[in-house]
A and B are shown apart, each in its own frame.
Chain A
Amino acid sequence: MLAIFNREFRSYFTSATGYIFMSFFLIMSGIYFAIINLISGNPNYNLVLSSITMILLIGVPIITMRLLSEEKKQKTDQLVLTAPLRLSGLVLGKYFAALALFGLTLLITGIQPIIITLFGTLPVGEVLGGYMGYFLLGACFIAIGLFISSLTDNQVVAALTTFATLLLLLLMDGIKQALPIDRTSSIVFVGILVVGLSALIYFSIRNIYVSAGIAMVGFIAMGIVYGWDKTIYDGIMVRFFDWFSLLRRYESFAMGIFDLSAVVYYITFAAAFLFLTIQMIEKRRWS
C-alpha cells in the first residue's frame, strides 16, 4: 500500500495535475478569503470554508479522474493486479494519495486564519471544527471520484461523471425539499428501489431466479411493513435522499459544533465507496 501511495503521490507532481489542483484551490480560497474576511473585516473564517465547497466540484475530479482509469488505459493494471498485492492495498494507497494532496493543500490555506489572528481574534475551536468538517467532506468526494474512476478507462468521462455526481450531491438539500411526502408516492418509490436493486443484481450475476427471488422477498417485506405500521412510509423519500446529503452534515461543523455522528457518517460514506471500488475491480476480472 505504501508503495502505491508513494508512486501515486509523486506522480501528482511529475505531471501537472497536482500543481493545477493546488493552484486552483489556493487561488479560489484566496479570493474568497480576501472578499469575505479581509475587505469586509470579518473574522469568521468558517464563512470562507462553507463558500469554497463549490471548489471541490472541480478540484476533486482533477485529482481522482486519473487514479484507476489511467492504469486500465495504459495497461499498467496488468502489473499491479498480477503482483502479490492486495486489492484493498491498491485502492487505499491511491485513495490516501489523493487525500494527502487535498489535506496538504488545505493545510496551506491555514495561513489565512493565521493572518486573521494577527489582526483580530479568531474563534480557534470553531475554525478547527470547520476544517475538520471540510476535510471529511472532501474525503467523501474523493472516495466517490475514485469509485467513478474505476468504472471507465477514459479520464474525461471519469472527470465529467464525478463532476455531475458531486453537483447532484451538493444540490441534494434543495431537491429534497421538492419531494412528495404522501404515502402512495412513498410506496411507489420503495417499489422502484426494490425493482432497481433486483435489476442491479441481475446485471451483475445474470441469474434471473436469484434476482426475481430478491424482488419477491422485497415486495413481501414491503407488505408486512405496511400491515405492521403504515406511517413508516410517510416521507420515506425525503429520508432516503437525506442519506446522501453530505452538505447538511457539514453545516454543523461550519457552525462550530463537533458532531460525532456526522464524523461517523462521513467515514462510513467514504468507506462504502472504497468498498464498492474494490468490488468493481474484482468484478471486472470475472466478466
Chain B
Amino acid sequence: MGGRPLIEVKNLTKRYGQHVAVDHVDFTVNKGEIVGFLGPNGAGKSTTMNIITGYISATEGTVKVDGLDILEQPQETKKKIGYLPELPPLYMDMTVEEYLRFVCQIKKVERNNEKETLYKVMELVKIKDMRKRLIKNLSKGYKQRVGLAQALIGKPEVLILDEPTVGLDPKQIIEIRNLIKGLGNDHTIILSSHILSEVSAVCDRVIIIDKGKIVASDTPDNLSRRMSQSNRFMLRIQGPKQEVLDTIRSIEGVKFAEAQRVREQGTCDFLVESHDEVDIREELFYAMSEKKYPILQMKSMDLTLEDIFLKVTSQQKGGATYVSDLQ
C-alpha cells in the first residue's frame, strides 16, 4: 500500500444551521487503496462523499484530489472522480444506451472514443443486453449497475461509491463486490456501507464514522480481531435445564446467563455473557464435563455494528483513543 496520497481531506466540517453533519474530519487515501466508510444512517458518510465530489461545499476544511482543490479547479478535479450516489442519478425516460451516451458527453469523453467507452463499460457491469431498455423498466439491481457504469465513464482515477450494494439480492451483492474488487486494481475507491462484513470483504482499510466524527481507522483484519473478542456466547448443552443454568451461573466471570428455547430433544440453548476481558470458555468446558453435561455447540455471537460503536466509543471515553493510522 505504498502509493502516494491521492485524496487528502483536511479538517472537513459541514454545518447545517446548528446541526453539525461532518465534524473536523481528517483522512488521506493512497493511490490504489480501497477504503470503506462504515457508519450508521446519518453518520455523515454521504455528506462527506458529496463534499469530496463537489456536489455540496464544506463549511470548513479542504479536499484535494491528486493535489487539485475542487473549489479552485472544479472542472479538472471533477474529471478525476466518478461518483455513484446513494440513489443512482438516472433519467427514467431514457434508455440505458442513451443515458450512458449523455454521460459520455457531459464528462467530455471524446467523440471518437464514445462508442468504445460505452461498450467497455457496459461489458464490465454486464448490462449489454439491457442497452435498449428504458431505465424506468429496469430492476433495482440493473439500475444500480447502470449507476456504476455512469461512474466509470471518463476513466476517473477515483471512484466514490455510496452504499453500492444496498437493496440488491445476495447474488447481485456478491457480483457487485467482485466487480468493485476488480476495479480496485486500477482505481482508488472510497465506498460506504453500514454492513461490516461487506466492508471487510472488499476494503483495504475501514474508516468508522459516527455523528460526523471518525472514531476508528484500521484494516478490516485488525478491526475484526479486536471486535471478535466477543463476550457473548450461544451454548447448546445436553442436560436438565435448571441445573445447567445454575452451574453456568456459578462460574466466576459470568455476568449474565439465561436459558432459551429447546431446539433439540434433551438439550437446551443458553445465552451467556461474561464480564469484559475474561475468557470463560475453558472454565465452562471443565464445569460441564465434571457434571457430565456435554456441550454440543458453542459459538460467540456476532457483533452488530451498534456493538462496535458502543465498544469503540466507550473505549474513547476511557481515554485510549483508537485511531491508528496505518501509513
A residues near B (Cβ < 8 Å) are 2-4, 6-7, 11, 14-15, 74-86, 285-287
CB-defined A-B contacts under 8 Å, sample of 20? A4-B106, A6-B102, A7-B94, A11-B94, A74-B89, A74-B90, A75-B85, A75-B89, A78-B50, A78-B85, A80-B89, A82-B53, A82-B81, A83-B106, A84-B74, A84-B75, A84-B78, A84-B108, A285-B55, A285-B57
Most buried by B among A15, A76, A83, A287: A83
Q: Could you say which residues of chain B place their CB within 8 Å of the CB of A82?
A: 53-55, 78, 81, 83
Q: Could you say which residues of chain B place their CB within 8 Å of the CB of A287?
A: 16
Most buried by B among A2, A4, A77, A287: A287
In the complex, which residues 79-129 of chain B have their Cβ closer than 8 Å to any Cβ of chain A?
79, 81, 83, 85, 87, 89-94, 102-103, 105-108
Contact B93 A11 (CB under 8 A): yes
Contact A85 B106 (CB under 8 A): yes
Closest to B134 in A: A14
Contact A84 B107 (CB under 8 A): yes
Q: Could you say which residues of chain A place their CB within 8 Å of the CB of B50?
A: 78
Known: A2-B105, A3-B102, A7-B102. A81 touches B90 (CB 8 A): no
Minimum distance in angstroms from B241 CB to a CB of chain A: 54
Minimum distance in angstroms from A70 CB to a CB of chain B: 9
Contact B103 A79 (CB under 8 A): yes
Q: Could you say which residues of chain B place their CB within 8 Å of the CB of A14?
A: 93-94
Most buried by A among B74, B106, B150: B106
Contact among A7, A85, A285 for B91, CB-based, below 8 A: A7
> Could you tell me the distance between the alpha carbons of A256 and B248 in the complex, rounded to whole angstroms?
101
In the complex, which residues 242-270 of chain B have their Cβ closer than 8 Å to any Cβ of chain A?
none
> Could you tell me the distance between the alpha carbons of A241 and B89 in the complex, rounded to whole angstroms?
42
In the complex, which residues 116-163 of chain B have their Cβ closer than 8 Å to any Cβ of chain A?
150, 154
Known: A7-B91, A74-B89. A81 touches B54 (CB 8 A): yes
Q: Could you say which residues of chain B place their CB within 8 Å of the CB of A81?
A: 54-55
> Could you tell me the distance between the alpha carbons of A75 and B86 in the complex, rounded to whole angstroms?
9
> Could you tell me the distance between the alpha carbons of A77 and B53 in the complex, rounded to whole angstroms?
12
Closest to B54 in A: A82
Closest to A79 in B: B89
Give the A-B contact count at a CB cut-off of 8 A.
72
- Asked whether any CB of chain A lies closer than 8 Å to the CB of B56, the reply is yes
> Could you tell me the distance between the alpha carbons of A178 and B157 in the complex, rounded to whole angstroms?
63
Contact among B79, B90, B105 for A3, CB-based, below 8 A: B105
Minimum distance in angstroms from B115 CB to a CB of chain A: 16
Minimum distance in angstroms from A218 CB to a CB of chain B: 28
Known: A11-B93, A83-B107. A285 touches B87 (CB 8 A): no
Closest to A206 in B: B17
Contact B106 A3 (CB under 8 A): yes
Contact A83 B85 (CB under 8 A): no
Q: Could you say which residues of chain A place their CB within 8 Å of the CB of B93?
A: 11, 14-15
Contact among B55, B75, B150 for A86, CB-based, below 8 A: B75
> Could you tell me the distance between the alpha carbons of A77 and B107 in the complex, rounded to whole angstroms?
14
Contact A76 B90 (CB under 8 A): yes
Minimum distance in angstroms from A203 CB to a CB of chain B: 13
Closest to B104 in A: A3
> Could you tell me the distance between the alpha carbons of A85 and B79 in the complex, rounded to whole angstroms?
9
Contact B90 A78 (CB under 8 A): no
Contact among A74, A75, A80, A285 for B106, CB-based, below 8 A: A80
B51-72 to A contact mask, C-beta < 8 Å, 1/0: 0011111000000000000000
> Could you tell me the distance between the alpha carbons of A76 and B86 in the complex, rounded to whole angstroms?
11
Minimum distance in angstroms from B103 CB to a CB of chain A: 7
Closest to B80 in A: A84
Besides A75-B89, A83-B106, 8 other A-B contacts (C-beta < 8 A): A74-B91, A78-B50, A82-B54, A82-B55, A83-B103, A84-B78, A86-B75, A285-B57
> Could you tell me the distance between the alpha carbons of A285 and B53 in the complex, rounded to whole angstroms?
12
Q: Could you say which residues of chain A place their CB within 8 Å of the CB of B92?
A: 74
> Could you tell me the distance between the alpha carbons of A79 and B266 in the complex, rounded to whole angstroms?
61
Minimum distance in angstroms from B4 CB to a CB of chain A: 23
Q: Could you say which residues of chain A place their CB within 8 Å of the CB of B76?
A: 84
Q: Could you say which residues of chain A place their CB within 8 Å of the CB of B94?
A: 7, 11, 14
Q: Could you say which residues of chain B place their CB within 8 Å of the CB of A85?
A: 78, 106
Minimum distance in angstroms from A179 CB to a CB of chain B: 39
Known: A7-B102, A82-B53, A286-B57. A76 touches B75 (CB 8 A): no
Q: Could you say which residues of chain A place their CB within 8 Å of the CB of B79?
A: 84
In the complex, which residues 35-56 of chain B have their Cβ closer than 8 Å to any Cβ of chain A?
50, 53-56
Minimum distance in angstroms from A64 CB to a CB of chain B: 17
Q: Could you say which residues of chain B place their CB within 8 Å of the CB of A15?
A: 93
Most buried by A among B75, B89, B102: B89
Q: Could you say which residues of chain A place their CB within 8 Å of the CB of B54?
A: 81-82
Known: A84-B108, A286-B57. A79 touches B81 (CB 8 A): no
Closest to A93 in B: B106
Q: Could you say which residues of chain A place their CB within 8 Å of the CB of B56?
A: 285-286
